[in-house]
């Protein structure tokens, strides 16, 4: 079923299918395996895989591994894991390095056609010749080499005869172009570095624009969706696709057969959309890498990180991130999304899906003095107030409870609805309690409350309907399980941690209260959570059982998000 979404990219896809320009569409998500994916990548993933799915097409996962020095198999595994976790699967898993043979033949064709040449200028000289936005560039003195000489030199580059940086293969386009990307850009550079997939086979590596455009063509990508910063590269993208013309030169695809890949090719169209930006975050791989490397967070999957691994560990659900991407929409307008939108998406998902539990984060003992010593019973609670299909659970209740310290005030502020000396409150699902006695230690700290549970107010009784102002949560002290509760908040305390105009860097804007670990008590049914299971701890927030550290004996919960937006800068 075609998508109901109306953004401009889906509109183009819809028209291309309706007009018969394409009978089926193909997209790809092309990460460079040089870091972990972040929340911005979720937008590109949801868009590429989403469009393919909605219009009955296919989407590939392609590792853009043309830069061997920076890439690592650890990142490859994490990226695959992240894409699957978000709920998508690829039609075919590819690597730009699968196409190195094709790229080489394509480059030779450009040389034969007089559209590429071997240049001996150093990197610094190339910069000087390139000109600027206001100055046209100058032709390289090597630009008019004969086809024969170029073919020979390029073959010797490939054979490993020359040192790193000694020569490049450059496209012959236009040194006076207003678009600097078209000023005879490099297509290949010499780099004697081993590659994780091709080993020592290649001493030369293709440049990003060339490899990316041809990679799309090789895979028969119809709509190549990328972020706005590539808009200026589109003329070069088209130049590569048109001048190599893989579809019209199937002999260039021959190296694919040795890889067991199909010899297909198409003319792809690049379409740019705006990046996802969210305030209070940093979202570049470089900065995320520094946060980890400098020990400012506890690793790539620290629950405060805006990597997908971090968000997952924090308790963000795939559905909440897909909702975010939908809510933000696809356009060419650059904008910054407020952090509360991200949190709102998580609340919306978890409010509907997460079972309710009771947990006490900052415990204060409450003894129900009118119950017999050793009194205990089991109360039945629904798991979700609006979703009966989630069933019920048993919650142990007894004479001694833990309640939240902040639910009692000796001197209540105005409008207070919770416990005060002599006042009444409803204990969720257990009846109405009145506080008779406040016990303190020598320093004057409250150590215990003693109360009276109205026997006529138990659930199901007439007296239970009596009006009292507040309802509080509790756990039975005898039955509750001690839990480590990690109270996370935003990693940065300012809207634009990236803004360095005042001489500060994002390191200066770390929120000192972004992580607080406390020891609390949870009801037994919470301790039994599976890892990564999310709950609403009533009145407290949404929490997830930590993916790595949680066990039923030693529960560990991460606060994913508070119940309401309480941020104040």
Rounded to 10 degrees, what is the CA torsion of 245, 246, 249, 255? 150
Nearer CB in complex with Mg ion: 40/497: 40
Torsion of CA 372, 373, 377, 382, to 10 degrees: 90
| 400 noted as active-site residue | no
Which of the ranges 25-33, 46-54, 260-268, 515-523 carries the binding residues for Mg ion, by CB under 5 A?
A: 25-33
Residue 517 contacts which entry, Mg ion, ligand ATP, none (Cβ below 5-8 A, type-dependent) = none
Contact 414, 441 (CB under 8 A): no
Residue 5 is a catalytic residue: no
Angle at 483 between CA 480 and CA 489, to 5 degrees: 130
Q: Are strands 431-440 and 424-427 parallel, antiparallel or unpaired?
A: antiparallel
Per partner kind, with CB cut-offs from 5 to 8 A, the member of ligand ATP, Mg ion, none near residue 226 is ligand ATP
Q: Of 41 and 304, which has the nearer Cβ to ligand ATP?
A: 41
* Catalytic, out of 285, 312, 347, 428: 285
Q: How many residues bind Mg ion (CB under 5 A)?
A: 1
Residues that bind ligand ATP (CB under 6 A): 30-32, 40-41, 43-44, 226-227, 275-276, 283-285
Taking the complex as a whole, the smallest distance from the CB of residue 64 to ligand ATP amounts, in Å, to 6
Annotation marks residue 285 as catalytic: yes
- Closer residue to ligand ATP, CB minimum distance, 47 or 419: 47
- d(C-alpha 339, C-alpha 120), whole Å: 50
Cβ 508 to ligand ATP shortest distance, Å: 21
Shortest distance in whole angstroms from residue 289 CB to Mg ion: 12
Q: Map residues 348-367 to x or -, x wherever contact with Mg ion holds by CB under 5 A.
A: --------------------
179 contacts 137 by C-beta, under 8 angstroms = no
Give me 392's structure tokens: 């019920």
Per CB under 5 A, does 80 bind Mg ion?
no
Kindly compute the dihedral angle of the four CA atoms of residues 430, 520, 529, 471, in this order, to the nearest 10 degrees.
30
- Provide CB contacts within 8 A for 156, sequence distance 6+: 162
CB-nearest residue to ligand ATP: 40
Q: Does 498 bind Mg ion (CB under 5 A)?
A: no
In the bound state with Mg ion, the residue whose beta carbon lies nearer, of 32 and 338, is 32
Nearer to ligand ATP, 46 or 427 (CB): 46
Under DSSP, is residue 341 helix (H, G, I), strand (E, B) or coil?
helix
Give the Cα separation of 113 and 181 in Å (integer).
21
Tell me how far, at minimum, the Cβ of 327 lies from Mg ion, in Å: 24
By beta-carbon proximity to ligand ATP, the closer residue of 116 and 221 is 221
Residues in the chain, total: 569
What are the backbone dihedrals phi and psi of residue 407, each rounded to the nearest 5 degrees, phi first? -90, 5
* Lookup: tokens for 359: 């947990």
- Binding partner of 14, given Mg ion, ligand ATP, none, CB within 5-8 angstroms per partner class: none
Which residues between 32 and 51 bind Mg ion (CB under 5 A)?
32
What is the residue whose two structure tokens read 């024969």?
Answer: 148
Strand runs (DSSP E) across 376-442, as ranges? Answer: 376-382, 392-398, 400-404, 424-427, 431-440
Q: Taking CB within 5 to 8 Å according to partner kind, which of Mg ion, ligand ATP, none is near residue 43?
A: ligand ATP
State the catalytic residues. 32, 275, 285
Q: Which residues bind Mg ion (CB under 5 A)?
A: 32
């Amino acid at each position: 079923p075609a998508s109901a979404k109306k953004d401009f990219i889906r509109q183009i896809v819809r028209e291309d299918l309706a007009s018969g320009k394409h009978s089926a569409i193909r997209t790809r998500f092309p990460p460079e395996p040089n870091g972990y994916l972040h929340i911005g990548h979720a937008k590109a993933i949801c868009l590429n895989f989403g469009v393919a799915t909605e219009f009955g097409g296919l989407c590939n996962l392609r590792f853009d591994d043309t830069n061997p020095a920076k890439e690592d198999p650890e990142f490859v595994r994490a990226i695959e894991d992240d894409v699957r976790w978000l709920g998508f699967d690829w039609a075919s898993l590819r690597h730009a390095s699968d196409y190195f043979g094709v790229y080489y033949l394509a480059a030779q064709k450009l040389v034969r056609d007089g559209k590429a040449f071997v240049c001996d200028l150093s990197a610094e000289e190339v910069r000087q010749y390139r000109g600027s936005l206001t100055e046209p560039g100058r032709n390289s003195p090597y630009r008019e080499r004969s086809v024969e000489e170029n073919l020979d030199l390029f073959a010797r580059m490939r054979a490993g005869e020359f040192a790193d940086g000694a020569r490049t293969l450059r496209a012959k386009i236009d040194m006076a172009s207003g678009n600097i990307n078209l000023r005879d850009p490099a297509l290949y550079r010499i780099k004697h570095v081993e590659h994780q997939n091709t080993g020592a086979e290649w001493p030369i590596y293709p440049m990003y624009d060339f490899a990316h455009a041809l990679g799309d063509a090789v895979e028969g990508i119809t709509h190549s969706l990328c972020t706005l910063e590539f808009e200026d590269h589109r003329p070069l993208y088209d130049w590569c696709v048109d001048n190599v013309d893989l579809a019209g030169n199937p002999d260039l695809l021959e190296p694919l057969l040795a890889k067991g890949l199909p010899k297909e090719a198409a003319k792809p169209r690049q379409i740019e959309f705006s990046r996802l930006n969210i305030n209070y975050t940093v979202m570049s791989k470089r900065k995320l890498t520094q946060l980890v490397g400098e020990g400012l967070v506890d690793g790539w999957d620290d629950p405060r990180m805006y990597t997908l691994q971090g968000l997952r560990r924090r308790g963000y659900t795939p559905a909440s991130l897909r909702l975010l991407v939908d809510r933000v929409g696809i356009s060419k307008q650059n904008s910054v999304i407020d952090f509360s939108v991200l949190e709102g998406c998580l609340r919306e998902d978890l409010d509907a899906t997460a079972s309710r539990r009771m947990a006490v984060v900052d415990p204060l003992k409450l003894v129900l003095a009118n119950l017999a010593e050793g009194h205990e019973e089991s109360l039945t609670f629904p798991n979700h107030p609006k979703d009966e299909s989630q069933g019920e659970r048993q919650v142990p209740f007894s004479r001694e409870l833990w309640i939240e310290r902040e639910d009692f005030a000796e001197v209540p502020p105005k409008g207070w609805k919770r416990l005060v000396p002599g006042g009444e409150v409803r204990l969720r699902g257990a009846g109405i309690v009145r506080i008779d006695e406040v016990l303190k230690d020598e320093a004057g700290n409250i150590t215990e409350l003693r109360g009276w549970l109205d026997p006529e107010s138990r659930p199901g009784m007439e007296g239970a309907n009596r009006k009292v102002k507040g309802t509080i949560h509790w756990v039975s002290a005898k039955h509750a399980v001690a839990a480590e509760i990690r109270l996370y908040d935003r990693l940065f305390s300012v809207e634009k941690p990236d803004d360095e105009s005042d001489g500060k860097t994002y390191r200066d804007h770390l929120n000192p209260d972004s992580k607080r670990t406390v020891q609390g008590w949870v009801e037994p049914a919470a301790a039994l959570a599976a890892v990564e299971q999310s709950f609403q701890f009533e009145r407290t927030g949404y929490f997830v059982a930590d993916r790595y550290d949680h066990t039923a004996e030693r529960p560990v919960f991460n606060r994913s998000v508070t119940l309401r937006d309480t941020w104040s800068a």
